[in-house]
């Protein structure tokens, strides 16, 4: 509920062309100011001013992350419901809205290409690189512990890279499928599975932003050190859940929030770690419950990166996102 003046202010904030366009873009997922500036083709101060007004009206939330700031529709407030409703009223075929969505798609494609070029380059040396910043043995022990004695019919490993998770968990599943968009990574993963005599796991070339129910139903989905390559990790959870059995689980392993900007410039990271609050929010809106959390500070590494492990359960209770089920 809002008082008269306050509601008028909210409506004024939304009632402007660029700001409505911003709401429509953010309804499709979190975006950085940098990307929004590129999509709208307006100056950064101008875009920031519009974003500030929307944030002050409670229609969107800002999340500062190193040198970048991310924005998204806030999930909880009544104003976010209003924002989503306004976006729903917008005709997606409106030429301006359609053009914005096309530009958003191009920006995302550009980012994917950049990440793909990075992974193509490092595929051969990934197994040496992957544990550089990470207390790997402790994390892998925790993954095994989280899976426990369960026998899984189907394990999906999204962003499988060199297939290490399929190898680690080989005794736990009847059938394992690793999905990755990098041909170079996949080649290494296939060779690894052959060398380890693992014939009940398969590697597929695919984009994890497009996973659907056909990939499942999986008892367990693991997303290990992948989400920080995406502007909107929430979208990945939402998409991945389609391939999860009712009551099925996800294990997410990723960095805690950090300030190592060079990981963006040198290692294709987009998000500087994921916080517990973010994970709770993304999970809830994807129809998942966070059921467990552990963290692993890397005391020996010079960068002091902490790795986190979250377990999520499929409740099937879907929150609202703009992409279609
Ligand atoms: C940091 S590696 C992690 C690999 C593996 N999970 C591990 O922990 O060793 C991230 C992987 O995600 C893959 N990836 C990035 N974007 C992807 C996308 N859109 N669809 C599928 N795989 C993607 C990359 O090709 C890369 O192999």
236-246: pLDDT as tens digits: 999 999 999 99
Confidence of residue 317 (pLDDT cuts 50, 70, 90): low
Range(s) for CATH 3.40.50.150 in the chain?
125-314
Classify domain 125-314 at the CATH topology level.
Rossmann fold (3.40.50)
pLDDT at 131: 67
- Out of 112, 161, 215, mutate this one to test ligand 1's pocket (max ligand atoms within 8 Å of CB): namely 161
Q: Roughly how many angstroms between the first and final C-alpha of the chain, as a whole number? A: 30
Range(s) for CATH 1.10.10.10 in the chain?
4-90
Centre of ligand 1 from the C-alpha of residue 155, in Å: 16
The 10 Å Cβ neighbour count of residue 95 is: 8
Q: How far is CA 59 from the centre of its chain?
A: 22
Give residue ranges with CB within 6 A of ligand 1: 112, 115, 119, 130, 159-162, 164-165, 179-182, 185, 207-209, 224-226, 229
The 10 Å Cβ neighbour count of residue 242 is: 16
Q: What are phi and psi of 132, to 5 degrees?
A: -60, -45
Distance CA 10, CA 269 (A): 35
Centre of ligand 1 from the C-alpha of residue 51, in Å: 31
* pTM recorded for the entire structure: 0.86
Domain 4-90 in CATH 2.40.30.10? The answer is no
Percent of the chain residues past pLDDT 70, beyond the cut: 93
- Average the pLDDT over 203-226 and give the result: 92
């Amino acid at each position: 509920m809002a008082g008269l003046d306050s509601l008028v202010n909210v409506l004024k904030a939304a009632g402007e062309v660029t700001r409505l366009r911003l709401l429509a873009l953010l309804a499709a997922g979190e975006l950085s100011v940098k990307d929004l500036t590129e999509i709208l083709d307006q100056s950064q101060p101008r875009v920031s001013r519009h974003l500030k007004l929307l944030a002050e009206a409670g229609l969107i939330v800002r999340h500062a992350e190193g040198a970048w700031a991310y924005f998204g529709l806030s999930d909880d407030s009544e104003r976010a419901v209003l924002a989503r409703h306004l976006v729903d009223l917008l005709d997606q075929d409106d030429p301006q809205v359609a053009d914005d969505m096309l530009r958003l798609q191009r920006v995302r494609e550009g980012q994917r290409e950049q990440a793909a070029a990075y992974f193509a380059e490092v595929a051969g040396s990934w197994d040496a690189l992957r544990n550089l910043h990470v207390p790997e043995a402790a994390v892998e022990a925790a993954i095994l512990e989280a899976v426990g004695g369960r026998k899984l019919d189907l394990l999906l490993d999204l962003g499988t890279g060199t297939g290490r998770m399929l190898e680690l968990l080989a005794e736990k599943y009847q059938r394992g499928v690793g999905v990755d968009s990098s041909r170079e990574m996949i080649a290494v993963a296939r060779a690894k599975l052959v060398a380890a005599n693992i014939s009940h796991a398969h590697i597929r070339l695919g984009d994890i932003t497009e996973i659907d129910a056909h990939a499942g139903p999986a008892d367990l989905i693991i997303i290990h050190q992948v989400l920080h390559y995406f502007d909107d990790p929430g979208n990945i959870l939402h998409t991945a859940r389609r391939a999860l059995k009712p009551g099925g689980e996800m294990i997410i392993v990723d960095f805690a929030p950090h300030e190592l900007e060079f990981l963006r410039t040198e290692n294709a990271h987009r998000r500087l770690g994921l916080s517990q609050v973010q994970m709770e929010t993304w999970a809830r809106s994807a129809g998942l419950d966070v059921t467990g959390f552990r963290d692993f500070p890397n005391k020996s590494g010079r960068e002091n990166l902490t790795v986190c492990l979250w377990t999520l359960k499929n409740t099937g209770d879907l929150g609202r996102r703009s992409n279609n089920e």
